[in-house]
Amino acid sequence: MADLNLMDGKLQLYRRGDGKIWQCSASVGGKQWRISTSSLLKNPMM
């Protein structure tokens, strides 16, 4: 799995196995959020 930690670990970008889609995970206000970058490309206002 390739991954990238940003903002002191509050934002992570990663791919699962040999997948082509990147996943994004962020901690905001003590709550964990996850979304695929594919979803962001389909709806950039998300």
Q: What is the DSSP string of the chain?
A: --EEEETTTTEEEEE-TT-SSEEEEEEETTEEEEEEHHHHHH-TT-
R_g (Cα) of the chain, nearest Å: 11
Beta pairing partners, 13: 4, 24
The pLDDT of 9-22, averaged and rounded, is: 82
- The domains of the chain are located at 3-39
pLDDT digits (tens, 9 = 90+) for 24-46: 888 888 898 888 877 655 655 55
Task: Kindly state the tokens that stand for 39.
Answer: 């979803």
- Decide which of 40 and 15 is more confident: 15
Going by C-alpha positions, the residue among 19, 18, 13 that lies closest to residue 40 is: 13
